[in-house]
Amino acid sequence: MTERIKIVIAGPRGRMGQEAVKLVENTENFQLVAVVDRQHNGMKLADILETTQSQAKVYTDMEDCFQNEQADVLIDLTTPETGYVHTKTALTYGVRPVVGTTGFSKEELQELRNLAEEKELGCIIAPNFAIGAILMMKFSQMAAKYFPDTEIIEMHHDQKLDAPSGTAVKTAEMIKENRAHHQQGHEDEKETLQGARGADYDGMRIHSVRLPGLVAHQQVLFGAEGQTLTLRHDSFNRASFMSGVKISVETIMSLDSLVYGLEHILV
């Protein structure tokens, strides 16, 4: 029998974290060895999460966790500040991070990239684990060559902390690689209400909508003479992200550097 991949989940009570617990429990070659929560140090996961019988121990301190548990992979689904510290700590302890937490700065990403390289450890940071969203980004990149005028509208639930979404930023970065740079809109355009034209990324615009009832949705609109093209992806629940988490955990064991974006590991 092949050895199971030993996993720690950070943020297990969160909406994504709960789905990740189910994924790990329902995947034959995955083993949940511990969780890192903000509270409940020393308790068992089953004591704090009624959807599981797991006896995995709860830690509030990640270093404490890695000093006491043998882990191969950390799945982090917390908040930007915490996720960054967790990812650094995991790499320092030789544990490979699969990070769904969004909102890291460019400098933070570079620092994590350097650390992963120095440690020769795989690290996957994916702003979006939904396979359909990855395809939307790839199709957008293709379209940008022929439709250089584009605006991104991302729509999320109103509890999301970062804006624009990591997916929107990643989409813009991929579009930029294929799009002739120019400033969109009228050269004399003025906002009579600040923010009306959205955020400016390399001359294209990103708009962030936050409403209760939404999960994670994005449209990429392309406009050209006499035609528009709209690409849209919707995640209706957080289970939609778990196939990407599973692929990441399986792939990370054979990586020795940081990969930013699931599109780089989907073949």
- Where do contacts with ligand NAP occur on this chain (CB under 6 A)? 10-11, 13-17, 36-38, 77-79, 82, 100-102, 126-129, 160, 216, 241
Pairing mode of beta strands 123-125, 96-99 = parallel
145 catalytic per annotation: no
CB of 19 or CB of 149, closer to ligand NAP: 19
Least separation in angstroms between residue 101's CB and ligand NAP is 4
- In contact, 149 and 224? CB cutoff 8 Å: yes
Nearer to ligand NAP (CB atom), residue 105 or residue 183 = 105
Nearer to ligand NAP, 118 or 158 (CB): 158
Return the beta strands (E) in the chain as ranges: 5-10, 30-36, 57-59, 73-76, 96-99, 123-125, 150-156, 199-201, 204-210, 216-224, 227-235, 258-260
Nearest CB to ligand NAP, comparing residues 224 and 239:
239
Burial environment of residue 112 by CB neighbours within 10 A (0 to 12, 13 to 18, 19 or more): buried
Question: What's the min distance (Å) between Cβ of 229 and ligand NAP?
Answer: 25
Please give the Cα distance from 210 to 147 (Å, whole number): 27
Q: Catalytic annotation on 22?
A: no
- What is the smallest separation between the CB atom of 209 and ligand NAP, expressed in angstroms? 15
Q: Give the nearer residue to ligand NAP in terms of CB position, either 79 or 92.
A: 79
Q: Please pick, among 88, 138, 157, 160, the residue that the annotation labels catalytic.
A: 160
Return the sign of the alpha-carbon dihedral for residues 158, 164, 166, 170. Answer: positive
CB of 143 to ligand NAP, least distance (A): 22
* CA pair distance 176, 173, nearest whole angstrom: 5
Of 40, 156, 170, 246, the active-site residue reads: 156
Comparing every residue's Cβ against ligand NAP, the nearest one is 14
The CB-of-86 to ligand NAP minimum distance in angstroms stands at: 7
Counted residue by residue, the chain has a size of 267
Query: What is the pairing mode between strands 199-201 and 204-210?
Result: antiparallel
Residues 6+ apart with CB under 8 A from 252: 73, 96, 98, 122, 123, 124
Q: Catalogue the active-site residues.
A: 156, 160
